[in-house]
Structure 1
Amino acid sequence: MTAGPGPGGPAGGTRLPCAAVLFDVDGTLIDSTPLVEHAARLWAPEYGIDPDEFLAGAHGRRTSDRIADFLPPDRVAEATARLDALEAAGTDGITALPGARELLAGMNGLPWALVTSMDRAQLAARAAAARIPLPDVVITAEDVRHGKPDPSGYLRAAARLGADPSACAVVEDAPAGVAAGRAAGATVLAVTTSHPPAALGEAHHVIEGLTALTAAPDGLTLA
């Protein structure tokens, strides 16, 4: 559903009480599209893969999981390491998405965590380039056996924050992440930064971006 006015009327926005907020990173807080696409277009021909086909379903998933859609199991680890190395070669074009820094700086005591399909090194480099702070609780690709749409990452983040997953809000931008948040039992907010609203229809609320959100100690307000 799309967020609409709450009991306070249009000026007050929609109140969304929650115990914690669990943020996806790439496409939600950070835009690294130029870097990711450039690396994939260098990498894919080396493995006989069409880069457009690879990229079409890659967003929001762990690199190794997406590569496993194209290569046999005995080649996945090496191919993943190769693509990771190409992506790690630079940070050109990486920026914070509108409203990301402001929202994180104004969480007002509301606990939050990051749950990303990137590995820890990628996250550190991209967060630094975009000047996005890293919280105490960060769940990366190495921390879970199964990546999104499996809910493991969100469940682990909620547990480390000491919050019931059903009392958490998940902020995502990709269908795989929306599915992971729903499977974790969280309330899912989807931003249309990388996918059209129709692709995010499983989310509880669909918003244009993070500028629509403000935080208070007991939850979020959707403008």
Structure 2
Amino acid sequence: MSLPAAQPEPKPSLTVRAVLFDMDGTLVDSTAIVEQVWLEFAERYGLDYDEILRTSHGVQAGDTVRRYAPEGADVVALTAELGDMERNRTDGIIALPGAEALLESLPDEAIALVTSADSILAGIRMRAAGLAMPTTTVTAEAVTRGKPHPEGYLKAAALLGAEPADVVVFEDAPAGIAAARAAGMRTVVVGRAAAGHDADLGPGMWRIPDYSAVTVKTVAHDDGGHLITLTL
């Protein structure tokens, strides 16, 4: 007698009023450029490149320069130099699988980009990846405290007229995930998990490798907004 086939677990389904996206590593794969720029910075000053990479992902460049630059260095000038390097390098930038289709399926008035990049760099990278920029964006110059502080995500939710409990954030970096969680928002971690890493996911958190399997259903709400159901 054969045993009945195991039934697949139902996919998680989230209903929200607004969807917020990080950019680098979440919508756009710019890993090669980011690593190249930080390697040049580390080599110039004899710094620990691996440590810089470990702590810089998702954080504003100026905060990383301030943390690692040698004493007496001109942090403002160094940050501007690194910014110029990043803005002039676009080779290899691509969108994550399914990102373009997902953005196109969501109402523009219910989404926002929340990134540690400045507005110029964000525009360059989104264009290089072939992605449309959401009308609502919160970039580095729009906040006084960068990730992992929740200011950016809270500001984006307010601009969209949504309460934190009615928002989902798509993020990939520890600093960004911490910011979303501190803002009281449900969080989808984008990227393939290392062995055992899923154990770090707490309540109100999920993980997807990319957007290939994400589906969207949008219903107009009586108040003029939307109820968006994302199936992961």
After TM superposition, is the score higher than 0.5? yes
State the match for 1:26 in structure 2. 24
Distance 1:65 1:109 in 2: 31
Q: CA deviation at 1:157?
A: 0.4
Q: Between the two structures, name the one with larger relative contact order (CA 8 Å, sep ≥ 6).
A: 1
Distance 1:136 1:77 in 2: 29
In angstroms, what is the RMSD of aligned CA positions?
A: 2.2
Q: Is the 8 A contact 2:109 2:160 kept in 1?
A: no
Give the 3 Å change call, closer, same or farther, for CA 95–108 of structure 1 in structure 2. Answer: same
Q: TM-score, normalised by structure 1?
A: 0.87
Where in structure 2 are there 5+ consecutive unaligned residues? 1-6, 219-226
What's the % identity of the aligned pairs? 41
Distance 1:110 1:125 in 2: 22
User: Which residues in structure 2 correspond to 1:179-218 (within 5 Å)?
Assistant: 179-193=178-192, 196=194, 198=197, 201-202=201-202, 204-217=205-218, 218=227
Number of residue equivalences: 214
Distance 1:181 1:56 in 2: 19
Distance 1:134 1:141 in 2: 15
Distance 1:107 1:90 in 2: 29
State the match for 2:3 in structure 1. none
Distance 2:24 2:52 in 1: 17
Q: Is the 8 A contact 1:67 1:76 kept in 2?
A: yes
State the match for 1:221 in structure 2. 230
Offset from partner CA, 1:126-154 (integer Å, 9 cap, x none):
11100111111000011111111100000
Q: CA deviation at 1:122?
A: 0.6
Distance 2:230 2:207 in 1: 13
What is the one-letter code of the residue matched to 1:27? G
Deviates more, 1:103-112 or 1:182-191: 103-112
Equivalent position to 2:43, from 36, 42, 45 = 45
Give the 3 Å change call, closer, same or farther, for CA 163–14 of structure 1 in structure 2. Answer: same
Where in structure 1 are there 5+ consecutive unaligned residues? 1-8
State the match for 1:35 in structure 2. 33
Distance 2:60 2:214 in 1: 27
Q: CA deviation at 1:50?
A: 2.6
